[in-house]
A and B are shown apart, each in its own frame.
Chain A
Amino acid sequence: MHYSGIFARIRQDKGGPLNDDHAQGMQIKSMQIPLDGVPSRSENVVFRKIENEYILVPLLSTSADVEAIYNLNEIGAIIWEHIDGKKSLREIIGELAEEYEVEPEEAERDVLDFVRDLTGSQLIRMS
């Protein structure tokens, strides 16, 4: 199991230049995420699985980047499906480590990477 940031933002070509991904990335990388925090999914996107693709389709115009469609890899999709607005990150990590028989450290790294990416794009909110 490895998430490794395979979470792509898909831009419609008609869009203008992207915001500064690099700067944003640096900021997000250094973001501290408490394991007791509870992530919830944004209501601005709808999750779809089509063939082997996992996609977040924008619904409302209030999402950070209204023209973007987001593409998750399988691990990302699994994490997304574990987020229910009730379980803490620690609980989610525990569940994943058990279900997929991986070391908790590995599950933690995947989940934190994923949550950093998605909170940066306002697709996940932490509380």
Chain B
Amino acid sequence: MKTESYADFSLRMHDASVGGRIPVNAAIELTYRCNNNCVHCYCSLPMGDEAASQKELATAEITELVDELASMGTLWLLITGGEPLLRGDFGEIYLHAKKRGLLVSFFTNGTLVDDDMVGLLAKYPPFVAEVTLYGATEETYEKVTRVKGSYRRCIEGIGSLRRAGIPLRLKTMALTINQHEVEAMDRRAAEWGCEFRFDPVIQKRIDGRVHSTPERYRISPEDAVRLDRTFPKRMQEYERFCAKFVGPPAVSERLYRCGTGVSSLHINPYGMISGCSMMVREAFSVRQKGLRWIWEEGIRSVISGKKTFSLPCDTCRLVNLCGQCPAWSVLENSSYDRESGYLCGIAKTRERSHAFLRQEAG
């Protein structure tokens, strides 16, 4: 029997999906509600928010969507939130997706993992379960989550998942109040035999509500560079990435150039579907239009939309690095025609600070 590496297979599937415009990757947020109250969260609502829970897609609506995704060729499904385990029907939805032959992953804060959940996941393993750590110590962790006892519950949750042999990854968001513990979190993950990643980029709330003010917890561009340097392996990967992708952008009239909506789609808790989680302006309601129309007509028209203004980004060599895109512009500035100063600042600071990025300029 031949053996093929997962990376090669994944690449082949993605190439095929782009050619055929198949949504091989889908993500669904089951709820924006969460039992934590993280200072930096871009979407969370209180766990008991009745009005929010009334609006959420019902179990049957979600399982129908899963069936339709499977028939449209989705292979990878990410279940996320808010905290997806907060919904009593998480297990049912998860199992439904597994039985349709999807490779199901989920993101969780790890605090609601009980024996039943572990039993289900042990029998029907996820592609990967990803738990977010908010600190390496109880004090820091709970400064972020603002919920007493959440640290202990998370550590216990991770312990149960590990003991059951569930494929597990850990991650964190680097914030002003936990950045000093990112290294310690990385060490802890290594002790547990888990892959670990962190992200220093914090997005604003997508709904303008006040439960959290993420931008107040953004680390400075200098701190982002310092963290880059703290992790040599990550830095090497970043250097390789830069070697490949730094350079002036190809000329394009398109508004969206990132490839969103070509092989992936995103479903929010209320059935609004778009190319990705950040495209809040260009989302279509599945309750009004149906998934197929949204994919074939709605999202297609969004991604073929033309750009009618110019930006410094049009000729910038860092365009593939900084993460700037129209969705970010809208979230940061409420309009398409200005780049995100925040993303730009991080990218330009990196360019000045990392020799491999500067040299390219010559």
Q: Are A6 and B3 in contact (CB under 8 A)?
A: no
One of A7, A13, A50 near B5 (C-beta < 8 A): A13
Segment from A32-40, A53-61, A77-85, A101-109 that makes contact with B: A53-61
Indicate with 1 or 0, residue by residue over B321-348, a CB within 8 angstroms of chain A CB atoms.
0000000000000000000000000000
Chain B at the A interface: SS class: mixed
Q: Are B103 and A69 in contact (CB under 8 A)?
A: yes
User: Interface size class for chain B?
Assistant: 20 to 34
A121 vs B123: C-alpha distance when bound (angstroms): 19
**Interface flag for B98 (CB, 8 Å):** yes
A53 vs B102: C-alpha distance when bound (angstroms): 14
Note all chain B residues with C-beta closer than 8 A to A71: 4, 9
User: Interface size class for chain A?
Assistant: 20 to 34
Note all chain A residues with C-beta closer than 8 A to B245: none
CB nearest to B10 among chain A residues: A10
**Interface flag for B22 (CB, 8 Å):** yes
Known: A21-B1, A25-B1, A71-B4. A66 touches B125 (CB 8 A): yes
Indicate with 1 or 0, residue by residue over B10-40, a CB within 8 angstroms of chain A CB atoms.
0011001101101010000000000000000
How many A-B pairs have beta carbons closer than 8 Å: the answer is: 87
**Interface flag for B101 (CB, 8 Å):** yes
**Interface flag for B309 (CB, 8 Å):** no
CB nearest to B74 among chain A residues: A50
**Interface flag for A51 (CB, 8 Å):** yes
Q: Are A53 and B13 in contact (CB under 8 A)?
A: yes
Indicate with 1 or 0, residue by residue over A92-122, a CB within 8 angstroms of chain B CB atoms.
0000000000000000000000000100110
Q: Are B101 and A48 in contact (CB under 8 A)?
A: yes
Q: Are A61 and B122 in contact (CB under 8 A)?
A: yes
Q: Are A57 and B101 in contact (CB under 8 A)?
A: yes
B-contacting residues, A1-58, CB 8 Å? 5-14, 18, 21, 25, 46-48, 50-53, 55, 57-58
A96 vs B188: C-alpha distance when bound (angstroms): 56
* Among all A-B residue pairs, the 6 with the closest Cβ atoms: A46-B101, A8-B2, A12-B6, A51-B16, A57-B101, A10-B9
Question: Could you list 28 examples of A-B contacts with CB < 8 Å?
Answer: A5-B1, A8-B3, A9-B2, A9-B3, A9-B4, A10-B9, A13-B5, A13-B6, A13-B7, A14-B167, A18-B3, A25-B1, A46-B101, A48-B75, A48-B101, A50-B17, A50-B22, A50-B24, A51-B13, A51-B16, A51-B22, A57-B103, A59-B98, A59-B99, A61-B122, A69-B6, A69-B9, A117-B1
